[in-house]
Amino acid sequence: MIIYGVALLAGCFMVGNLIGDMLGVVLGVKANIGGVGFAMLFLIIISTWAQKKGLMKEPEEQGIKFWSAMYIPIVVAMSSIQNVAAALSGGVVALAGGALAVAVGFLLIPVLAKKPPSAEVSAAKPEDKK
């Protein structure tokens, strides 16, 4: 059902915002740090895992695809209320957070780019192994 996809998205959003709020408290910033980003990361990881296990069917995917289409306008609206000047004047936290995000992104490229061998390559015939 479509509602299961939306429920998965909502659950990921709540957990992501909780982590973002906790990260803000730990770093001493009165803001949510990366809550939406964590939510999207969880959604990608969980939905990919569910698809591989056969738990995610087409109707559930429709619920996620609906909100995926809404993602960019929501992020634009959310970022329009952020005060970038105040964040930059607040200290090193904004710069360190940005640099850390970029560094982690670069480090994850090789990990995420790895593809498992296709079935054609791994299905070698016994006579080929001589």
Q: Mind listing the pLDDT tens digit for each residue in 71-124? A: 667 766 666 666 666 666 666 777 787 788 889 989 988 888 886 665 554 445
Is pTM beyond 0.75? Reply is no
CA–CA distances in Å: residue 104 to residues 16, 88, 122: 18, 21, 32
Contact between 14 and 42 under an 8 Å Cβ cutoff? The reply is: no
SS3 109: helix
Closest CA to 47 of 36, 71, 63, 69: 63
> What is residue 12's predicted lDDT score, i.e. its pLDDT?
86
> What is residue 15's predicted lDDT score, i.e. its pLDDT?
92
> What is residue 90's predicted lDDT score, i.e. its pLDDT?
65
Cα 6 to Cα 90: distance, rounded to the nearest angstrom: 36
φ/ψ of 125, rounded to 5, equals -80, 150
- The helix-helix angle for 35-53 and 58-80 (nearest 10°) equals 170
> What is residue 103's predicted lDDT score, i.e. its pLDDT?
92
> What is residue 119's predicted lDDT score, i.e. its pLDDT?
53
